[in-house]
Amino acid sequence: MTAYKAFQVQEAADGSFASAVVDLDSGELPAGEVLIQVAYSSLNFKDALSASGNKAVTRKYPHTPGIDAAGVVVESSSGSISAGDEVIVMGYDLGMNTAGGFGQLIRVPADWVLRRPTALKLKQCMMWGTAGFTAALSVDKLLLNGVAPDAGPVLVTGATGGVGIIALMLLKKLGFHVVVSSGKAEAHDRLRELGADEIIHRSELSEPTSRPLLKDRWAGAVDVVGGDTLFNVIKSLSYGGSVAACGLVQSPTFQASVFPFILRGVNLLGVDSVEQPLTVKQSLWDRMGDQWLLADLEQVVTEIGMNQLGECLQQLLKGQAQGRFVLDLQR
Ligand SMILES: NC(=O)c1ccc[n+]([C@@H]2O[C@H](COP(=O)([O-])OP(=O)(O)OC[C@H]3O[C@@H](n4cnc5c(N)ncnc54)[C@H](OP(=O)(O)O)[C@@H]3O)[C@@H](O)[C@H]2O)c1
């Protein structure tokens, strides 16, 4: 049994939720083949939902959120993973109903465990984290569906958020003309420095319209917003264009018609980072640590300690955060 610290969310008898950094014991962790000392985690929108008591994400409390973890294996009963290995765990049930990366120890099944890409240190892995992996998966889907830099501009919505900012940086690295939509006027200079070629206000896309099609503007898009924004993006794709839909910050539902699909042949591509087979995850992580390496990722990252988690999760929940938060579990 080993004592460790964790950011734990508790539900009170009146249904309210509160969080605190508490001392726990490794004996309370779930069963699993691999015990990992977590060095770094990162903050994602889903963590903010879990920490606020959203039961669609986490059914039972007390709970330690954190859908991302990077650290060193302490014990392993799996033949393919050894004590001392530096590894990443992301998605599956981590941080949802399995104690997650906001604790200094996690215990998980061996088939959740990824090798750290050689060129990325543990902290750099968490700069990408699930948000960056999702951005990479979205970009990969666009490329696989024929959205190339010479096809025309691409759009990224929610551009100052974790997924959006990395999608912008990656698309720019790959040579695209990138249009971003953002609700934060104060972030425009920053977005331009990161490579945004054009910036539009998110309100330009957020209202429903009865028009069956809108002016064709984008060969492709990465959308984290969902709702009416997603349908407006679909209606604004050029002929044969594609949107990778990965988020729901405006709404999980949207009203649509088939017109953009049957008149412009556009594609709506679903993106799920959570349940991808481990081999698919590993291969994309290896690309993120190689051909898709983002040398300047650090400039969009804020490093925090456990005592800052509550405040930063609130910022995420309110859509006020910019870039990525990396959690140092030793701070
Ligand atoms: N499919 C998957 O596997 C997967 C994986 C990771 C994340 N996600 C989802 O992707 C979404 C984004 O995640 P994230 O980590 O990037 O979150 P985030 O860091 O909170 O960023 C979301 C951004 O969306 C914009 N936004 C916030 N509220 C909005 C609203 N009401 N209408 C329009 N735009 C709004 C804001 O950017 P601006 O101010 O710049 O507009 C905000 O920074 C979430 O829904 C998350 O659940 C899905």
Asked if 163 and 68 touch (Cβ cutoff 8 Å), the reply is no
**Partners of 222 in the beta sheet?**
156, 244
| Res 293 pLDDT > 90 | yes
pTM of the predicted structure, to 2 decimals: 0.97
| Res 319 pLDDT > 90 | no
Give the model's pLDDT for residue 1.
Answer: 84
| Res 250 pLDDT > 90 | yes
Assign 3-state DSSP to the chain and report helix, strand, coil percentages, each to 5: 30, 30, 40
User: 222 CA distance to ligand 1 centroid (A)?
Assistant: 11
Nearest to 161 by CA among 205, 117, 222: 222
| 157 Cα nearest atom in ligand 1 | 41
What does the pLDDT look like over 105-156, one tens digit per residue?
Answer: 999 999 999 999 999 999 999 999 999 999 999 999 999 999 999 999 999 9
**Partners of 90 in the beta sheet?**
68
User: 149 CA distance to ligand 1 centroid (A)?
Assistant: 24
What does the pLDDT look like over 67-102, one tens digit per residue?
Answer: 999 999 999 999 999 999 999 999 999 999 999 999
| 180 Cα nearest atom in ligand 1 | 40
Instruction: Kindly tell me the burial class for residue 85, based on how many C-beta atoms sit within 10 Å of its own C-beta (0-12, 13-18, 19 or more).
Output: middle
- Written as six digits, the tokens of 132 are 């960056």
What does the pLDDT look like over 186-201, one tens digit per residue?
Answer: 999 999 999 999 999 9
- Residues with Cβ within 8 Å of 41's Cβ and at least 6 positions away in sequence, in order, are 66, 68, 69, 70, 100, 101, 102, 126, 129, 326, 327, 329
Nearest to 214 by CA among 225, 226, 228, 201: 228
The percent of residues above 70 in pLDDT, for the chain, comes to: 100
Neighbours of 239 (CB within 10 A): 10
Give the model's pLDDT for residue 185.
Answer: 93
Give the model's pLDDT for residue 118.
Answer: 96
Q: What's the chain's average pLDDT?
A: 97
Q: CB within 6 Å of ligand 1 — which residues? A: 44-46, 130-131, 134, 158-164, 182-184, 202, 206, 224-225, 246-250, 271-274, 316, 319, 321
Give the model's pLDDT for residue 7.
Answer: 98
Pairing of strands 3-11, 17-25: antiparallel
**Partners of 75 in the beta sheet?**
35
Domains of the chain, CATH where assigned: 3-116+296-328 (3.90.180.10), 130-270 (3.40.50.720)
- Written as six digits, the tokens of 228 are 């009416």
| Res 51 pLDDT > 90 | yes
